[in-house]
Amino acid sequence: MKQFLILLLLSASITLVNCGDDKDGDADFLAQFVGTWQSSNITAAGCNDPEENGTLNCDPFCFEITITANGTYSLLESGSQSPETGTITATETTVTICETGETNCDSQDPYSFSGENTFSITFTDEDSPGCQFTAVFNRQ
């Protein structure tokens, strides 16, 4: 289970990041993410290994991410004392994260909002072939 959480954290890091310059209008999309968010469950579906399918429930949270208006983030995995930090950008359909010190930034989509206080993001991970992960985050 710990290996799954680490794998998921790495996926989320790649999934939520972008090292590129913020394009005109992207700040408007980022504004909806500003604040502190927690995900208490992550669902995997469509995995080549059926044992990887299912939902991971975490108490009190799997991940907590704090996003600022200037495009920085701090991501804390449940049980960890050291948060990951970096930059984040958003477009109409994509969230991109770039971990501090990393040069290989990647974009991931889709994301969607359910009102102002809940968003979900779906991502893949090369270490889990076929899997589509969905994490739901709630504003704190």
The whole-number pLDDT of residue 28 equals: 84
Instruction: Enter the pTM of the model.
Output: 0.75
The whole-number pLDDT of residue 25 equals: 54
The enclosing domain of 109 has a CATH number of 2.40.128.280
- 35 burial (CB, 10 Å; 0-12 / 13-18 / 19+) is middle
The whole-number pLDDT of residue 72 equals: 96
Q: How far is C-alpha 51 from the chain's CA centre?
A: 23
The whole-number pLDDT of residue 104 equals: 82
Number of domains the chain contains: 1
Distance, CA of 13 to CA of 9 (rounded, Å) = 6
Provide the domain limits for residue 22: 2-139
**E strands, the chain, in order:** 35-45, 54-57, 63-67, 72-77, 84-90, 95-99, 106-108, 111-113, 118-123, 132-139
The whole-number pLDDT of residue 84 equals: 93
Question: What whole-number percentage of the chain has pLDDT above 90?
Answer: 51
Distance, CA of 8 to CA of 124 (rounded, Å) = 9
Residues 6+ apart with CB under 8 A from 66: 35, 36, 37, 73, 74
pLDDT at residue 11 above 60?
A: no
Chain segment 25-65, per-residue pLDDT in tens: 567 889 999 999 999 999 999 999 999 999 999 999 999 99
